[in-house]
Each structure stands twice: as C-alpha cells, then as structure tokens.
A = this chain, B = another copy of it.
Amino acid sequence: MSLDETSEKPHDRLARALAGDLDRVNDLIRERMASENAPRIPEVTAHLVEAGGKRLRPMLTLATARMCGYEGDHHLKLAATVEFLHTATLLHDDVVDESAQRRGRPTANLLWDNKSSVLVGDYLFARSFQLMTETGNMRVLGILSDAAAVIAEGEVLQMVAARDLATDEAVYLKVIRGKTAALFAAAAEVGGIVAGESREATDALRTYGDALGISFQIVDDLLDYGGDTAATGKNVGDDFRERKLTLPVIKAVALADAGERAFWIRTIEKGQQEEGDLERALYLLARHGTLETTRAEAIGWSGRAKQALGTLPAGDIRDMLIDLADYVVDRIR
C-alpha cells in the first residue's frame, strides 16, 4: 500500500473503488428528482443533493452489495432510495430546527421557504418508495419502510426529549438510532439482501450499519464539547446553547448532586443561560469524567461494527468498511 493510499480517508477510498456504481447512482438521482410539472422540485433538491455530501449512506449499500458479489443493478436503485430518504429528512429537519445553514451553505428553507422544504421533502419520500418498489423485493421494502418509521419516530422523540432532564441513555440511544443509525443499518443490510446473502450475513451487515451509525453520532455529540472548530464546522458548546441533551450531559446529569442538578435544570430545561455557564458545564463534564466515558462508548460501538464484519467475505471492500469504522472514532482519539 502506497503512502498516498494510507493517507486517503476510507470513504474516499470506497468512493474510488465504487466510482462506476456511484456515477450511475448520481445519474439515477438526477433523473428521478426531475419533475416535468413542478420545476421548483429539482431546484430545491439539486441545491441539497449536489451540495457535496459524502454519499456515505448510498455508498454503504453499494459496498455491501459488491462485497457480497452482487452483479445486478438493484443496488443502484436502493442506493438512490437511501439518499432520497436522507435528503427528505434533511429538508424537514431544517424546517423543524429553523436552520439557516447546512454544510456551510444556506438551507433550502432560507433560500426558498418552509413550504418548499416540506413539500419537496414529501416528494422525495414518495420517489424513494417508488424506487424501492421497482426492485420487487419484499424483504427490502419491509426493511426500508421500517427504517423510515424509526427515523420519523426518532425525530418526534428527539423534539420532545431534547430539553427534558428525564431523558436517559436508553432514550438517547433510541433518538440517535432514529436520527442516524436506522438508515445506516438499512443501507448496509439491503445491499446484502439483493446479493442473496444468508440471514446470518444480512443480520451482520445490519449490526455493522447500526453500530457504525451510533458510533458516528456519539462522536458528533462528543466533539460538540471539545472538538476542533475548524475540523467540525461547529463551535464548542452549540448543543449546550441550543439546550440539546446529548450523551456527555445525560451521563453528568445522572451523577449530579443537588446543586449540579439545579444548574442543569436552569440551563437546559429552563434555558436561562448566563455568562460562564458553558465553562461550568464543561467543568462538570470533566469532573464526572463523562467526556471520557462517552468516548469509550463511541469506541466500543466502532469495535462492534468491525466485529460484525468478521464473517463476511474478506477482500478490499471489507477492509475499507473496517477502516471506515476506525476512521469514525479517529476524530476523538
């Protein structure tokens, strides 16, 4: 392996290995987001789909299908399905969060309006169901429609639980499964299913995607309390200021004495934040070691992801998927 190859990020190596398939998926995405009747639709979706996302989710489908020796083309439709589902949730998330920026660009709800984001999101949902239906594979349809329900349920749960100190680690896990891991898991699993893999193998792929997604989201939440602003594009403490209960704080709340509990109630539940509160929050996380224990959990989930791949066909793709699980936690090592 050359120095170039080792320094290249695993998702870039995957993108290179799957370049032919990815091109065809991108063509399919462009073709299916078109609308003869309503040109507003491709305007809005192109803004988001072309915005240079990493295509991580569709790549999981392409990678697992190829790893399992699949030679057909249903994986292309499923990869596009997964990206449409993801894009639809981004459009609706930006409305729900009243976001003004995503990936450093103005959001669709800011450029057009909330109406366009809601309705174009609905259009992409419907398109994703049309695409998956075209594969004619009932197991795949069940998995992807279940994932869509878990995603929506997780979003509602997050909305209700985010500022509620009663939110415990089990609820947090449900929220991030909905937010991230459910689609990772489905994306990985359906690649194996179209390839005709055994139930054991597709369960292993599902476990990989689920654990990878959970690890990915925990790392994201951890970096909010100590990441490098330049690398993450977020400022330290954004979640605290937005009163989002994430794992480091949930763990600290569980260990809080009466005075600390009053602090969390005031700052998160009531949102009465003052100068110096972020520093006090960081001090409390450090005092209870919850940045460390959160970090250990992220690494644990990354390990579970790698372990799940153990019984799957060895080769370049499997190596890259293992490296991807390592890379997710590299940001916090």
Contact = CB atoms under 8 A, between A and B. Distances in A.
The listed residue with most B CB atoms (<10 A of its CB), out of A39, A126, A141, is: A126
Q: How many copies of the polypeptide does the oligomer hold?
A: 2
Contacts of A125: 122, 125, 148, 152
A41 B156 contact: yes
Given A37-B153, A38-B157, A133 B123 contact: no
A129 interface: yes
A126 B114 contact: no
B123 A40 contact: no
Which of the listed residues A38, A116, A142 has the most CB atoms from chain B within 10 Å of its own CB?
A: A38
Interface string A109-147: 000001110111111011101100100101001100110
Contacts of A152: 119-120, 122-123, 125-126
Contacts of A151: 122, 126
Nearest to A140: B133
Given A129-B129, A138-B136, A145-B129, A116 B37 contact: no
Interface residues of A, number: 43
Contacts of A141: 129, 133, 141
Contacts of A119: 92, 96, 152, 155-156, 159
Contact of A148 (B114, B126, B142, B155): B126
B149 A127 contact: yes
Contacts of A121: 122
B159 A40 contact: yes
A122 B155 contact: yes
Interface in A86-110: 89, 92, 95-96
Contacts of A174: 37
Interface string A34-63: 010111110000000000000000000000
A314 B252 CA distance: 70
A89 to B, nearest CB: 8
A16 B147 CA distance: 37
Contacts of A37: 153-154, 157, 174
A127 B119 CA distance: 18
A160 interface: yes
16 contacts: A35-B156, A38-B157, A40-B159, A89-B122, A95-B114, A95-B118, A96-B115, A122-B148, A122-B152, A122-B155, A125-B148, A126-B145, A129-B129, A130-B146, A130-B148, A130-B149
What 5 A-B pairs are tightest by C-beta distance, nearest first?
A: A126-B148, A123-B152, A126-B149, A129-B145, A38-B156
